[in-house]
């Protein structure tokens, strides 16, 4: 479970990490009240579960109430790469002398926690890792001993933290490790960890991801799952009990079974396409399930074409075809669909589709062919072989 910045900061504060004081608000008037409480200048920050908010215009400085109103009004409702802003975090603005980076995460291959630190914070850390790997310090921690102050100090020094703040950086690393461990986090990241001109070290951002499997141990944290900020289509899918994941592209993908859906993503990417979402209808998809799935896929406006990849096992091809025909009668989609039906009762299914002659539905014989077709259709290029 990913946490919003302000929720992550609450966990930080619980474990002694320094953060700026602020308030989470849902409207402009709330923001104005928060501004008066925390004191100007303030930073207005979009609370969405995606990084790079600053670059997208979701983080703004306000010197006074007028600017706060303007920024809060602009940022609320803003869509940041598919995430709508429902909540703002208003915090007292910090002066910044340096921006560092710190993170604790689980290194699955080493089966150990990993501490990362860099003095090149505030930017995309993957960029630093690629361009200047030695500027990103990576140290494993012995899970039984934990992160000692000595090890934290050596990480801070090796990373090149300014000499006068090395102790504070080490404290921050130890506290961050404590957050990671005590809260059962998968990731606890601070970017940037700032040094103020008054030489105080403080977390200016928070990215925390909690382990869902350990949530039962943290009743306090269970309420942090924020349905208002969840993608509404993902929330609907969850209610209907289907696996739906939103992505950034323009091709909707539906398959039955997780493995098939994953390989469908791969072949679409290989054909030069970019999936907008994927949905696993699971085994035994009946007509009603197919209709729901089509509705979910099309609820995303970015979808320009849909690839329906069904390999019948328990799921019968004729049933899927009937579901699709029924769904089309009710929904009347305007985007093209490519259907690849194989496996149990595939001949019957394909015949049903052909007879129904649904507008904008194309049949493909193989997965690769289906991928090529859907990529072409999404790009507005014509293809042959209508159903
Ligand atoms: P992100 O873009 O989603 O990672 O959001 P951040 O919380 O990291 O903010 C982006 C950038 O805005 C930071 O790297 C800072 O440069 C800047 N910023 C955020 N808060 C403050 C602040 O209190 N004072 C100043 N001067 N800059 C800030
Ligand atoms: Mn950041």
| Percent of the chain clearing pLDDT 90 (strictly above) | 70
Residues 387 and 385: their CA atoms lie apart, in Å, by: 6
What DSSP line would sit under 183-252, residue for residue? TTEEEEEEEEEEE-TT--EEE---EEEE-GGGGGG-HHHHTT--GGGS-HHHHHHHHHT-EEEE-SSSEE
Catalytic residue among 6, 100, 101, 362: 101
* CA of 48 relative to ligand 2 center, distance in Å: 12
pLDDT value of position 72 = 98
Reported confidence tier of residue 226, pLDDT bands at 50, 70, 90: low
Q: For ligand 1, is residue 47 a contact (CB within 6 Å)? A: no
Catalytic residue among 189, 319, 369, 372: 189
Q: For ligand 1, is residue 122 a contact (CB within 6 Å)? A: yes
Q: For ligand 1, is residue 294 a contact (CB within 6 Å)? A: no
Q: For ligand 1, is residue 269 a contact (CB within 6 Å)? A: no
Average pLDDT, the chain: 92
Q: For ligand 1, is residue 245 a contact (CB within 6 Å)? A: no
Nearest CA to ligand 1 atom 4: 52
Q: For ligand 1, is residue 53 a contact (CB within 6 Å)? A: yes
Query: How confident is the model over 252-297, as pLDDT tens digits?
Result: 999 888 889 999 999 999 999 999 988 987 766 677 788 888 888 8
Residue 229 phi, psi dihedral angles, 5° rounding: -95, -5
The region of weakest confidence among 27-41, 178-192, 213-227, 361-375 is 213-227
Contact 273, 371 (CB under 8 A): yes
pLDDT value of position 111 = 94
Q: Taking the model in full, what pTM does it have?
A: 0.71
* CA of 41 relative to ligand 1 center, distance in Å: 13
Is CATH 3.30.1490.20 the classification given to domain 21-92? yes
**3-class secondary-structure state, position 94:** coil
Residues 219 and 234: their CA atoms lie apart, in Å, by: 23
* CATH of span 231-378: 3.40.50.261
- Read off the pLDDT of each residue in 349-373 and give the average, rounded to a whole number: 93
pLDDT value of position 305 = 96
Residues 196 and 99: their CA atoms lie apart, in Å, by: 9
Kindly give the number of the ligand 1 atom that is closest to the alpha carbon of 123: 14
Domain boundaries, the chain: 21-92, 98-221, 231-378
Pocket test for ligand 1, best of 2, 43, 67, 99 (most atoms within 8 A of CB): 43
Q: For ligand 1, is residue 41 a contact (CB within 6 Å)? A: no
* CA of 329 relative to ligand 1 center, distance in Å: 50
CA dihedral 288, 236, 56, 13 (to 10 degrees): -150
| Percent of the chain clearing pLDDT 70 (strictly above) | 97
Q: Is 66 exposed, middle or buried (0-12, 13-18, 19+ CB in 10 A)?
A: exposed
* CA of 98 relative to ligand 1 center, distance in Å: 12
Query: How confident is the model over 80-112, as pLDDT tens digits?
Result: 988 899 999 999 999 999 999 999 999 999 999
Check whether 229 has a pLDDT greater than 60. no
End-to-end Cα distance, the chain: 42
Distance (Å) of CA 295 to CA 82, 170, 233, 268, 301: 18, 51, 10, 21, 11
Triad 254, 259, 265: Cα angle to 5° = 50
Query: How confident is the model over 50-66, as pLDDT tens digits?
Result: 899 999 999 999 999 99
pLDDT value of position 244 = 87
Residue 234 phi, psi dihedral angles, 5° rounding: -60, -40
CATH topology of domain 98-221: D-amino Acid Aminotransferase; Chain A, domain 1 (3.30.470)
* CA of 189 relative to ligand 2 center, distance in Å: 9
């Amino acid at each position: 479970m990913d946490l919003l910045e302000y929720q992550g900061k609450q966990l930080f504060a619980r474990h002694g990490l320094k953060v700026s004081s602020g308030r989470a608000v849902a409207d402009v008037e709330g923001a104005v009240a928060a501004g008066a409480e925390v004191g100007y200048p303030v930073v207005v920050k979009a609370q969405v579960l995606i990084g790079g908010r600053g670059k997208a215009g979701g983080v703004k400085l306000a010197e006074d109430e007028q600017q706060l109103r303007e920024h809060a009004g602009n940022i609320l409702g803003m869509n940041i790469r598919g995430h709508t802003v429902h909540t703002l975090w208003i915090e007292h603005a910090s002066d910044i002398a340096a921006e560092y980076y710190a993170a604790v995460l689980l290194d699955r291959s080493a089966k150990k926690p990993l501490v990362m630190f860099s003095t090149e914070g505030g930017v995309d850390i993957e960029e630093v890792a690629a361009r200047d790997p030695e500027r990103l310090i990576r140290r494993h921690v012995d899970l039984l001993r934990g992160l000692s102050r000595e090890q934290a100090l050596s990480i801070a020094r090796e990373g090149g933290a300014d000499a006068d703040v090395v102790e504070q950086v080490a404290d921050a690393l130890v506290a961050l490790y404590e957050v990671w461990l005590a809260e059962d986090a998968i990731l606890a990241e601070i970017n940037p960890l700032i040094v103020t001109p008054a030489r105080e070290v403080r977390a200016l951002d928070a990215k925390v991801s909690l382990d869902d499997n350990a949530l039962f141990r943290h009743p306090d944290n269970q309420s942090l799952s924020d349905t208002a900020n969840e993608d509404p289509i993902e929330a609907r899918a969850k209610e209907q009990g289907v696996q739906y994941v939103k992505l950034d592209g323009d091709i909707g993908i539906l398959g039955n079974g997780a493995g098939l859906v994953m390989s469908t993503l791969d072949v679409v990417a290989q054909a030069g396409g970019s999936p907008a979402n994927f949905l696993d209808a699971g085994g035994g998809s009946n007509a009603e399930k197919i209709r729901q799935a089509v509705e979910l896929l099309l609820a995303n406006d970015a979808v320009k074409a849909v690839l329906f990849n069904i390999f019948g096992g328990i799921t019968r091809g004729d049933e899927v075809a009937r579901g699709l025909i029924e769904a089309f009668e009710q929904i009347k989609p305007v985007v093209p669909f490519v259907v690849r039906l194989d496996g149990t009762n595939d001949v019957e299914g394909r015949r049903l589709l052909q007879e129904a002659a649904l507008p904008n539905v194309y049949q493909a014989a193989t997965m690769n062919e289906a991928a090529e077709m859907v990529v072409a259709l999404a790009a507005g290029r014509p293809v042959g072989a209508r159903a």
